[in-house]
Amino acid sequence: MTHTQQHNERLPIGALLALAMTGFICIVTETLPAGLLPQIGSGLGVSASLAGQMVTVYALGSLLAAIPLAIATQGWKRRTVLLTTIIGFLLFNSITALSSSYALIMVARFFAGVCAGLAWSLLAGYARRMVSVSLQGKAMAIAMVGTPVALSLGVPLGTWLGALVGWRMAFALMSTLTLILIVWVLIKVPDYPGQSSSQRLALGKVLTLPGVRSVLGVVFTWMLAHNILYTYIAPFVSASGLTEHVDLVLLVFGLAALLGIAVTGRVVDAHLRSTVLLSLATFAAVSVLFGLSSTSPVAICVGVFIWGLTFGGAATLLQTALADAAGSGADVALSMNVVVWNSAIAGAGILGGVLLDQWGVQSFPWVVLVLLLLSLAIATKARDGGFPQGARQGGAVVAGH
């Protein structure tokens, strides 16, 4: 089939960027309220902490829906599933922009999270299907670029926009973006059939495939470590006198993460294992730097930049490893990844809060170090399945067969 060969020879940038835009919308929709809590609270007549639950219920929707919806839609055409999630965002962001009822907005936020859970379990596998095995890592890096862009630029931009034109307009703008994306997907993104019932692997079967649990173990420990610092970045940097500059610290992190994802896209196919091990070891070294020099603004800024570099490619590396290990069960495995990833975010919120109250921010780097050493141990041990040695072409061809 010449059309497929043509696809395989070069990266379908337009289609991959549409997937990246979907990821961008997922993240910005999730985190947008965080920068606008006082305005949303006063607009709806609730406290800022109640407004903050808009983020919580969204994460809960993703957590609960990812696996069942990924399994339920396995037989659907891929573009139909993608468009369903995007139309969901259009609907639920519009309700959030227009409604004056706190209860209705919370329901809309929950279902927006449900859409995100399904989108996240779809995007990586979709990107992989568009290209030949040797380009899968690069394709996924492009499809995942929406995440660091959203985290580094989307949230501050949303906060600034909300202050400029009001929080409702910020959500209305998200709806406008989704309308553009629907047209973009229809024009640019190729459709693929779903899996026939004979091709589908049950959840339990996917979980027992060699390497799947190792990769999920690394996902949980790495993201738990990352999010303890990221969630509580404001109190953490206050010891070095950077309280007034948290936005700049986050920008440094975000720009480094973009650089990290660019580098990862180039090395993921040939050096997946060594890149994962290097990223974890470097982040562990940064946590030691944070522990020993928490009062030095220079040390914190340098550390944040290096940490951002190690984090940028994490989603690409871990999802590539997971999809390789799962083979034809990739979509189910990637839906588990959504659950584990979000559990780590929620867990970090709780664990970080306890550490902050009991032992203060100086305890963060050492707890992070322990988690990263655990993550490094799991990844090192998984040399046969999960993070195999050498270039990834061979394993992926066998796995995808």
Same fold for the pair 2-188 and 203-400:
yes
Of residues 298, 272, 290, the one with CA closest to residue 228: 290
Rounded to an integer, what distance in angstroms lies between the CA atom of residue 97 and that of residue 110? 15
When the candidates are 1.10.1270.20, 2.40.10.170, 3.40.50.10300, 1.20.1250.20, the CATH number that belongs to 2-188 is 1.20.1250.20
User: Taking 60 as the threshold, does the pLDDT of residue 4 lie above it?
Assistant: no
When the candidates are 3.40.630.190, 3.40.50.2000, 1.20.1250.20, 3.30.428.10, the CATH number that belongs to 203-400 is 1.20.1250.20
Rounded to an integer, what distance in angstroms lies between the CA atom of residue 198 and that of residue 215? 26
User: Taking 80 as the threshold, does the pLDDT of residue 154 lie above it?
Assistant: no
What tokens does 108 get?
A: 């809309």
User: Taking 50 as the threshold, does the pLDDT of residue 6 lie above it?
Assistant: no
Check if the beta carbon of residue 115 is closer than 8 Å to that of residue 92.
yes
Q: What is the mean pLDDT of residues 170-174?
A: 93
User: Taking 60 as the threshold, does the pLDDT of residue 399 lie above it?
Assistant: no
Per-residue confidence at 401, pLDDT binned at 50, 70, 90?
A: very low
User: Taking 80 as the threshold, does the pLDDT of residue 247 lie above it?
Assistant: no
Q: What would the pLDDT profile of 16-64 be if each residue is shown by its tens digit?
A: 999 999 999 999 998 888 778 778 888 999 987 788 888 889 988 998 9
> Where along the chain do its domains lie?
2-188, 203-400
pLDDT, position 296: 93
Per-residue confidence at 242, pLDDT binned at 50, 70, 90?
A: confident
pLDDT, position 29: 92
**Quick count: other Cβ atoms within 10 Å of Cβ 318?**
26
Distances (CA, A) of 149 to 19, 55, 157: 13, 19, 11
User: Taking 90 as the threshold, does the pLDDT of residue 318 lie above it?
Assistant: yes
Triad 370, 373, 374: Cα angle to 5°: 85
Question: How high is the mean pLDDT of the chain?
Answer: 88
Q: What would the pLDDT profile of 268-285 be if each residue is shown by its tens digit?
A: 989 999 999 999 999 999
Q: What is the mean pLDDT of residues 186-204?
A: 85
Per-residue confidence at 393, pLDDT binned at 50, 70, 90?
A: low
Least confident interval from 48-62, 189-203, 387-401: 387-401
pLDDT, position 398: 34
How many angstroms from the chain centroid is the CA of residue 301?
A: 23
Q: What is the mean pLDDT of residues 284-309?
A: 95
Residue 171: strand, helix, or coil: helix
User: Taking 90 as the threshold, does the pLDDT of residue 396 lie above it?
Assistant: no
pTM summary value? 0.84
Q: What would the pLDDT profile of 350-387 be if each residue is shown by its tens digit?
A: 898 889 889 998 999 999 999 999 999 999 999 988 99
Q: What would the pLDDT profile of 107-150 be if each residue is shown by its tens digit?
A: 999 999 999 999 998 998 899 899 988 888 889 889 988 887 88
Q: What is the mean pLDDT of residues 237-265?
A: 86
User: Taking 60 as the threshold, does the pLDDT of residue 5 lie above it?
Assistant: no
Rounded to an integer, what distance in angstroms lies between the CA atom of residue 249 and that of residue 254? 9
Q: Considering Cα of 72, then 74, then 76, then 80, what sign does the dihedral take?
A: positive
User: Taking 60 as the threshold, does the pLDDT of residue 395 lie above it?
Assistant: no
Of residues 56, 7, 299, 31, the one with CA closest to residue 151: 31
Check if the beta carbon of residue 142 is closer than 8 Å to that of residue 16.
yes
User: Taking 70 as the threshold, does the pLDDT of residue 400 lie above it?
Assistant: no
Q: What would the pLDDT profile of 333-347 be if each residue is shown by its tens digit?
A: 999 999 999 889 888
Q: What would the pLDDT profile of 213-237 be if each residue is shown by its tens digit?
A: 999 999 999 999 999 898 788 788 8
pLDDT, position 1: 40
